[in-house]
Amino acid sequence: MQNKKGRLHGNDKRKPLSNGSEGNSLAHTSSSPVAVVGLAFRFPGDLGEEGDFWSALKSKCDLVTRIPEDRWAAVELQHNKRSEPGRSITFSAGVLSRIDAFDAGFFGISPREAAWLDPQQRLLLELAWEALENAGMPPSRLAGTDCAVYVGISSLDYGTRGLDDLASMSSHSMTGNTLSIAANRLSYVFDLHGPSLAVDTACSSSLVALHHACRALQTGEASTALVGGINLLLHPYPFVGFTKASMLSADGRCKAFDASGNGYVRAEGGAVLLLKPLARAIADGDDIKAVILATGVNADGARKTGITIPSRDGQAELMRNVLAKTNLFAQDIDFVEAHGTGTMVGDPIETAAIGAVYGQGRETPLPIGSVKANLGHMEAASGMAGLVKSILALQHRALPPQLHLETPNPHIDFVGLNLQPVTDYRPLDKQTPLVAGVNSFGFGGANAHVLLREYRREEERAFIPEVLPPLFLSARSDAALRALASRYAERLRNSSPADYYDIAYAATYRRDRLEKRLALYAKTPDEAAEKLAVYAQDNAPDGLVLEEQLPQSGGVAFIYSGNGAQWVGMGLRLMVESPAFADILAELDARMQPIAGFSLLAELQANGGASRLDDTVVAQPLLFAIQVAITRLLKAQGIEPLAVAGHSVGEVAAAWACGALDLDVAIRVIVARSRAQGETRGTGRMAAVGLSVEAMQAVMAELGEALDITIAGTNSPKNLTLSGSLADLERAQSHLAPKGVFFRLLELDYAFHSRQMDPIRESLLASLAGLETRTAAGTAFVSTVTGGELDANQLGAEYWWRNVREPVRFSEAIATLGELGCRSFIEIGPHAILQRYIGECLTSIGTKGRVLPTLRKEADGWNTLVEAALRAHLLADQPNLGAYFPQPGRRVQLPNYPWQRERHWHPRTSESLLSIERRRVHPLLGWRIPEAAHAWENTLDPTVLPWLADHQVGGAIVFPGAAYAEMALAAAREWLGGEALAFEEMDIVSPMVFD
């Protein structure tokens, strides 16, 4: 196990798969390969899982549907003639659902800001997080580094919607709707300090962004990079514009390479990749998805007949340049994912370039394809879609069939170019690593090309644990944690112990720890899955513990309880359930018996009648032994205290726990202390009272100077322990009873921390003469004698006399622990008796902390101790979990974070024009005119209303009289309401004749 801020999987290294030396050196060059180590995407049909996307491709799924009517009045804005002003010929599209919903709270974004945050920025935030999850890279590990961000983006649809309602704009409108911020926001939210750029080259934006990201890695400008592309369809303006440019398919399908290709269909979605230099990724043991061998960009310039016409020469030149950066030949390329929009102009030009560079000189035709047939054209993000498809093809070593390819485009010489669109699912059988080309070009002539290579991982050896480790999960909210638990339950069902270990390891070390936290322990993976499923239904199964991140971060304090924690039968259940606990007690028995003169095991197992726990000579060593055993078990589970403190006799175990006393020396102290105090039995009693020191001193003054009562301890600011004669304690009790003050006599036949201890001073000091202490190893000892921190060399014989005689300054000690940075307080003893006191102390000093018990009376089994350890781990900032995970787990994919999305949409004021949402109140009556009380307007078109075209008089299309009557009735219903309406004396002054 390496340090928690380092790489927790550093020995999980793989060798590069190549016939050269690339990847063996950490030095970067301008041609160094780049590894894709993480990816996330959201494609039409809400595809976001690699398996689901590959299945969709393999089964030739058509994921193109239509723009939902709730985005704008699509029916009103569509027309079957391209020339119709203000209308689109189609609103077919590949779409995502719930684009208005976002988990703003997860990213610390207020609802007010989220309302004006472009959904493209929202989706990029989600995808960036998911890409890091996919890479097994906790985002906190990237924070503050030189990680670069490059985003391909070209649409400002959301901001364009705001132009309809300028009064609704807020202070967040510009940062929410400026292209540059798309990249900058990722850098801001994740605290990334490398280059941060938004790239707009239209349809090639995301691959151009990829090129620049690779260059930043190769030149050393950044050590990692997030790169992606995004495109959402939020306004009809581009539909109308591309309709006028004759780019959109009238039948709403991308039919790449097909004779019927008549344009493209728009689509939305996005993807984000996490990149590293290949050598670094190998050294870090990353899960490498694919290797980027080379990238390139160029422009067509004037080598074409129009700005939107692609250039064969421009694309071919780029492909040759990119190929030249590798040590490959054209015949080494196994397939090319083309831009392939399905246009009659673009497809022949692009395939001619691909064939000229990669098709010639091959023994077999080069397979080509285009994912746009399945998804539609994601425009600025389209290169990412082709890239993800290609990565999956490399991983599956197969090519999915091309959709909508019925008749090859006669304008493409497939035979002469030696190209072959993939028509059936095709496995790729090749001994050496596969290589893919991905092509993309923008409609302004900006071209991008990428060469990808398969990466073959060495098979990792499974680790089969004897006992399943705990599973640690976390989320931002309770609802998200339950949803995450449900996903893990599904993931764990029917898994093997080795698989469970890998999942638990990855969930622990390859995910960030968020505010709401869960830990569970189980004997089998199926039992773990069942517990998670029960919790997901808002229930509380055994073996599952929940904690929330503390408001103030800090370390752990071990608090050792004092007299009063012991009980007959303590530790017996734990001895049965934990062989380790029993072994520790056996060791202590062997060490202690020659000195104490009795067997602690025998005393622990004594029944009620034979028990001597009321004798402090026996009780103190037994309490000490239980505390030592608990401490060892906690430390064996990785719980290490920042500081320790003990209440009265608990200080002996605390001094041992911090390393100030050797175990045998601590045994000597506890035996000497208990024997000496045993001599005082019957000389007084003790009591607990709910008063402050000042209030109690006032009471004592009222009761007279001869009062034999001493304040023996300040447990909290308003809770004290008293010692003295029984008669005077009862006097004080009677005095306080009418005032309703809490007062309870303790079942102890001793008056510790009072003058009744004075007679044993010399004997105790003599028995501890020459006591040797050690230097504590990094754990602070906070004294309840002084209330402050002490060095080990201050814990000699004189100190232990003070421990017996002076009051227990527990409240002051807890305040000191808070100042030292302790925030989790674990009470160590057979029963929790200090919980309330610690909580009151923390409240009094304004410290937010958590108080945990270890064992409780009648709940002192192994599970109780395990839960205490798990809670401590959940509360810790950087827990040491190496005891559960002796070696790294294999790389596995975990469930993604379950976003808790809520609707966030730009606000609307009374000034809103609602131009894109204007819908007819009636097919004939049309739209209400806002400026008039009872007036409507409409556009009637026989090409849109076929029944109207059928009504002809003398060969001319004439608006029917019945339609006038229907319009009048519709107006009356809108104006007057009701169902039964009549009108009289309708005159048609002149016919309405259509051209």
% of the chain surpassing 90 pLDDT: 83
Helix, strand, coil % over all residues of the chain, rounded to 5: 35, 15, 45
Distance CA 779, CA 774 (A): 12
Helical (H) or strand (E) element with 274 = strand 269-277
Catalytic residue among 211, 339, 647, 831: 339
User: Which pLDDT band, with edges at 50, 70 and 90, does 963 fall under?
Assistant: confident
CATH 3.40.47.10 residue window(s) in the chain: 39-453
426, pLDDT greater than 80: yes
Checking if the pLDDT of 807 tops 50, the result is yes
Contact, 126 vs 230, CB < 8 A? Answer: no
Return the CATH fold of 685-748: Alpha-Beta Plaits (3.30.70)
Residue 712: exposed, middle, or buried by beta-carbon count in 10 A (0-12, 13-18, 19+)?
buried
Res. 778 pLDDT band, cuts 50 70 90: confident
pLDDT tens figures, 694-703: 999 999 999 9
Q: What is the pLDDT of residue 924?
A: 82
**Gap between the Cα atoms of 284 and 37, Å rounded:** 11
Region of poorest pLDDT, from 5-14, 281-290, 403-412, 929-938: 5-14
Spatial distance between the Cα atoms of 265 and 65, rounded to a whole number of angstroms: 10
Tens digit of each residue's pLDDT (9 = 90 or more) over 556-569: 999 999 999 999 99
- pLDDT above 50 for 160: yes
For 454-485, the pLDDT digits (tens) are 999 888 899 999 999 999 999 999 999 999 99
Active site residue 822: no
280 within 8 A of 313, measured Cβ to Cβ: no
From 211, 235, 377, 753, the catalytic residue: 377
Mean pLDDT (the chain) is 93
| Greater pLDDT, 54 or 704 | 54
Chain centroid offset of residue 410 CA: 51
Within 10 angstroms of residue 684's Cβ, the number of other Cβ atoms is 26
Active site residue 61: no
Residue 430 scores a pLDDT above 80: yes
User: What pLDDT sits at residue 593?
Assistant: 96
| Cβ atoms within 10 Å, residue 538 | 9
Position 30 pLDDT exceeds 80: no
- CATH number given to 39-453: 3.40.47.10
Question: Taking residues 258-265, what's their average pLDDT?
Answer: 96
Tell the residue number behind the tokens 């994601």, with chain if given: 378
**pLDDT at position 6, please?**
29
What's the pLDDT at 939? 81
How are beta strands 92-94 and 266-267 bridged, if at all? parallel
Q: Among 588, 654, 645, 655, which Cα is nearest to 621's?
A: 588
CATH classification of 555-564+608-681+750-855, choosing from 2.20.25.90, 3.40.50.720, 3.40.366.10, 3.40.50.2300? 3.40.366.10
**Gap between the Cα atoms of 453 and 460, Å rounded:** 21
Quick: pLDDT tens for 360-419.
Answer: 989 999 999 999 999 999 999 999 999 999 999 999 999 999 999 999 999 999 999 999
Residue 372, pLDDT score:
98
Q: What is d(CA 41, CA 59) in angstroms, rounded to the nearest whole number?
A: 19
Cα separation of 393 and 423, whole Å?
Answer: 15
State pLDDT tens for residues 553-607: 899 999 999 999 999 999 999 999 999 999 999 999 999 999 999 999 999 999 8
First to last CA, the chain: 82
Those residues with Cβ within 8 angstroms of residue 486's Cβ, 6 or more apart along the chain or in another chain: 532, 533, 536, 898
Render the burial of 499-508: b for 16+ CB within 10 Å, e for the rest. bbbbbbbbbb
E strand segments, 435-541 = 435-441, 446-453, 471-475, 516-520
pLDDT over 50 at 721, yes or no: yes
pLDDT attached to residue 687: 96
Q: How many CB atoms lie within 10 A of CB 90?
A: 24
- Percent of the chain past pLDDT 70, that is, above it, reads 97
Phi-psi region of 740 (alpha: psi -120 to 50; beta: other; left: phi over 0): left
Q: Which tokens go with 191?
A: 């605290």
What pLDDT score was predicted for residue 5? 30
Residue 439, SS3 per DSSP:
strand
Residue with tokens 């029993």: 582
Catalytic residue among 61, 147, 203, 214: 203
For residue 747, count other CB atoms closer than 10 A to its CB.
10
Confidence of residue 27 (pLDDT cuts 50, 70, 90): low
pLDDT digits (tens, 9 = 90+) for 609-635: 899 999 999 999 999 999 999 999 999
Q: What is the average pLDDT across 787-816? A: 97
